[in-house]
A and B are shown apart, each in its own frame.
Chain A
Amino acid sequence: MSGVLEVKNLSKSFDGIVVARDIELTLHAGRVVGLIGPNGAGKTSLFNLISGVVKPDAGTVRLNGATLDGQKFHQRVRQGLSRTWQHVRLFPSLPVIDNLLIGTTAYPGERLTQVLFGAARLKQHDDAARTKAHALLGKIGLPHVADALVADLPYGQQKLIGVARALMGDAKCLLLDEPMAGVEGQAYAAMQRVVREVAESGVAVCVVEHNIAFVRDLCDEGVFMFSGAIMARGSVAELTRDPQLTELYFGH
């Protein structure tokens, strides 16, 4: 069975320090894969390599069978490879709604010619984008924050908006970098629900997360990374029971 995202032989080292060693990873539509491992294992680096933020030394990345190699980060995003950030990275000078509106797959407003001569098309696009943005805000349980400023919102809500922003395009594959770090209470429950719903809508999801309870509840498969390599795969329950992996995770 071929996956939505297929990573083959992906390798990268910085000055001899290996951050990715021959990584093989397949993400399937509708399934959530949890990427676990201690700090410095290369989980975020792997996201950077897949999304094109960092160029790999070797290996290929395919999305729905088409290669992404050589494409820049923003081009990969437009193909449907979306990601979030560990530290949210919303745009502080934009209200929440505009943080979402900027994230559509095509954004005619980024071309000067459209801005100067394509008013009708811009309006049409804007109307559709606003409908989608409000629907997403409803989905993450924050329908009332559209006009709020990012800095005025609690961190957990910012993280939810970060996920909503990543869903403004037509994501086929979603990479979530520690969606739960710093998230508590209502936002925690909302994040669980949102990630599950995204997967159920047919998106292939991969989550880097230290919150093992979250990973266990949500992920169909766990992948354990250590020192830039994948050490084990299986159900999250199996992985967390493995004494060898537990030792690697916690060290001595």
Chain B
Amino acid sequence: MDYLYGIIIIVGLYVILATSFNLIIGYGGLVSIAHPVFFALGAYTSAILSRDVHVPVLLAMLAGFLVALIASIALALPSLRVSGDYLMIASIGFQLGVLELIKNVRFTGGPGGFTNIPAFLIRDFGRESYVLLVLAVMAAVILLIWWIARSDYGRAMSAMRDDELAFASVGRDAMWMKIAIFALGSGLAGLAGGLYAHYFRFITPEQFEILQSSAILTMVVVGGMRTTWGPVVGALLLEALPQAISFLQLPPSILGPIQGLLFTGLVLVFMFFRPQGLVPARDIWRSPRKEAP
């Protein structure tokens, strides 16, 4: 059962990562490579605060969310003042730089990783309670992004993606909207990081490498960008497939490359045959509000 719980939690966390990344790249139209490092910032912040500073785990997780959020603003503010494209370049540097920093300072455990992270809920309420916690947060994140996308904010995001100059010409501020989108999306990745750390209780820098970025992107693209369920379907599919392959009991030397091939192959297949993803987005944004008669 523990093995199954582990898988459910991993899938749930990737749904959070893909859904929050969908907010950034799908709805916001912002290209970022740094999603894994915000995941890492949340995980490390929560782990360090709870183990070494003895902050209660729930507060430490919240701090992980906030640290990722604040760090993303610090990254976006100077980048987006220049242009949207600049964020992509800056995010590569940020991803590589912060991970290098984590590997090279003492209080993160360095390249060997950070161990003995305090457990949460499991000792008192069993592993099931943690599974429920992750699923509840996952549901809340899906609901949150769904709510935002259909609200007046969704209308503004659509307009901003259509034409930024026209967006400014009606008095709207594209830069601050992009910063807010990026901050919320990245903050949620940090929250997922905290949830990861206190279940598996061991984190290493390798888990947050830049390759994770392409995995998350693949989930969003294959599932369907700018849809509520696309990233969910994408995360389920791309996390379940490798698990299924591992049941084939192939030697690890073959297993790794096969999984890599599968990811790349899926992206190529979808790019050619179904660029809209499994769940296609609607072309037109419509308000859920009913007109007064």
Contacts of B244 in A (CB 8 A): none
Contact with B along A89-103 (1 / 0, CB 8 A): 111111100110111
Q: Are A98 and B285 in contact (CB under 8 A)?
A: yes
Considering only CB atoms, which chain A residue lies closest to B166 in the complex? A89
Q: Are A72 and B162 in contact (CB under 8 A)?
A: no
Q: Are A77 and B171 in contact (CB under 8 A)?
A: yes
Among A82, A90, A93, A122, which residue has its beta carbon within 8 angstroms of that of B152?
A122
Q: Are A110 and B151 in contact (CB under 8 A)?
A: no
Which residues between 152 and 179 of chain B lie within 8 Å of chain A, taking CB atoms?
152-153, 155-156, 158-159, 161-163, 165-174, 177
A93-B285, A130-B291, A130-B292 as given contacts; A77 in contact with B158, CB under 8 Å = no
Contacts of A126 in B (CB 8 A): 152, 289
Among B147, B152, B292, which residue has its beta carbon within 8 angstroms of that of A109?
B152
Q: Does B105 contact A (CB under 8 A)?
A: no
Contacts of B152 in A (CB 8 A): 107-110, 115, 122, 126
Among A74, A122, A168, which residue has its beta carbon within 8 angstroms of that of B168?
A74
Considering only CB atoms, which chain A residue lies closest to B282 in the complex? A93
Q: Are B286 and A95 in contact (CB under 8 A)?
A: yes
A212 to chain B, nearest CB (A): 27
Which residues between 81 and 125 of chain A lie within 8 Å of chain B, taking CB atoms?
82-83, 85, 89-95, 98-99, 101-105, 107-112, 115-116, 122
Q: Are B161 and A93 in contact (CB under 8 A)?
A: yes
Complex Cα gap A110–B284 (Å): 19
B158 to chain A, nearest CB (A): 5
How many residues of chain B have a CB within 8 Å of chain A?
A: 33
Complex Cα gap A95–B162 (Å): 13
Among A85, A98, A105, A108, which residue has its beta carbon within 8 angstroms of that of B166?
A85
Among B170, B173, B291, which residue has its beta carbon within 8 angstroms of that of A165?
B170
Contacts of A74 in B (CB 8 A): 167-169, 171-174
Complex Cα gap A69–B285 (Å): 35
Complex Cα gap A124–B150 (Å): 17
Contacts of A110 in B (CB 8 A): 152-153, 156, 172-173, 177
Q: Are A98 and B287 in contact (CB under 8 A)?
A: yes
Complex Cα gap A92–B284 (Å): 8
Contacts of B286 in A (CB 8 A): 95, 98
Q: Are B151 and A122 in contact (CB under 8 A)?
A: yes
Contact with A along B265-292 (1 / 0, CB 8 A): 0000000000000000001111101011
Q: Does A149 contact B (CB under 8 A)?
A: yes
Considering only CB atoms, which chain A residue lies closest to B180 in the complex? A112
Q: Does B148 contact A (CB under 8 A)?
A: yes
Considering only CB atoms, which chain B residue lies closest to A83 in the complex? B169
How many residues of chain A have a CB within 8 Å of chain B?
A: 41
Contacts of B153 in A (CB 8 A): 109-110, 112, 115
Q: Does B40 contact A (CB under 8 A)?
A: no
Contacts of A99 in B (CB 8 A): 159
Contacts of B161 in A (CB 8 A): 93
Q: Does B61 contact A (CB under 8 A)?
A: no
Complex Cα gap A85–B172 (Å): 16
Q: Are A103 and B170 in contact (CB under 8 A)?
A: yes
Complex Cα gap A169–B109 (Å): 55
Contacts of A78 in B (CB 8 A): 171
Complex Cα gap A126–B167 (Å): 18
Contacts of A107 in B (CB 8 A): 152, 156, 171-172
Q: Are B155 and A98 in contact (CB under 8 A)?
A: yes
- The contact sample of 27 A-B pairs, CB cut-off 8 A, is A51-B169, A74-B167, A74-B169, A74-B172, A83-B169, A85-B166, A89-B169, A90-B166, A91-B158, A91-B163, A91-B167, A93-B161, A94-B155, A95-B286, A98-B286, A102-B155, A103-B170, A109-B153, A110-B156, A111-B180, A112-B153, A115-B152, A116-B147, A122-B151, A126-B152, A130-B292, A149-B284
Q: Which residues of B contact A (CB under 8 A)?
A: 147-148, 151-153, 155-156, 158-159, 161-163, 165-174, 177, 180, 184, 283-287, 289, 291-292
Other than the given A77-B169, A85-B169, A91-B163, 20 more pairs (CB < 8 A) read A73-B168, A73-B169, A74-B171, A74-B172, A89-B166, A91-B158, A91-B162, A93-B162, A94-B155, A94-B284, A95-B284, A99-B159, A102-B167, A103-B170, A109-B153, A109-B156, A115-B148, A115-B153, A126-B152, A168-B170
